[in-house]
């Protein structure tokens, strides 16, 4: 049986992966969240626009880090997911 992740599950996973002081690059997100590059770019762009991720410009590659608003999303999503999967 194939299980398809919801958009919110993927968002939560991206935010958790990006919750590091130094942030993470898109390659790390693509491999760790098991996404293709095009979908990852689209989702990251949406998360930056909504204020859940911030872009860290330093060095050769952009890095992404979870914002305070993103951390609040993770907490609320995890609480909801724990109730839903009782």
For residues 34 and 43, give the distance between their C-alpha atoms in angstroms, rounded to a whole number.
13
**CATH class held by domain 7-84:** mainly alpha
For residue 4, what pLDDT is reported? 85
Q: Would you state the pLDDT for residue 83?
A: 82
Block means of pLDDT (10 residues each) for the chain, length 86 residues?
83 95 93 94 96 88 94 94 71
Give me the pLDDT at residue 86, please: 47
| b/e map 35-69, b = 16+ CB within 10 Å | beeeebeebbeebeeeebbbebeeeeeebbbbbee
């Amino acid at each position: 049986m194939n299980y398809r992740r919801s958009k919110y599950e993927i968002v939560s996973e991206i935010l958790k992966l990006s919750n590091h002081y130094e942030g993470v690059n898109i390659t790390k997100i693509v491999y760790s969240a098991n996404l293709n590059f095009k979908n990852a770019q689209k989702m990251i762009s949406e998360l930056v626009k909504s204020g859940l991720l911030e872009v860290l410009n330093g060095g050769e590659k952009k890095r992404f880090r979870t914002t305070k608003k993103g951390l609040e999303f993770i907490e609320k999503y995890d609480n909801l997911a724990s109730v839903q999967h009782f």
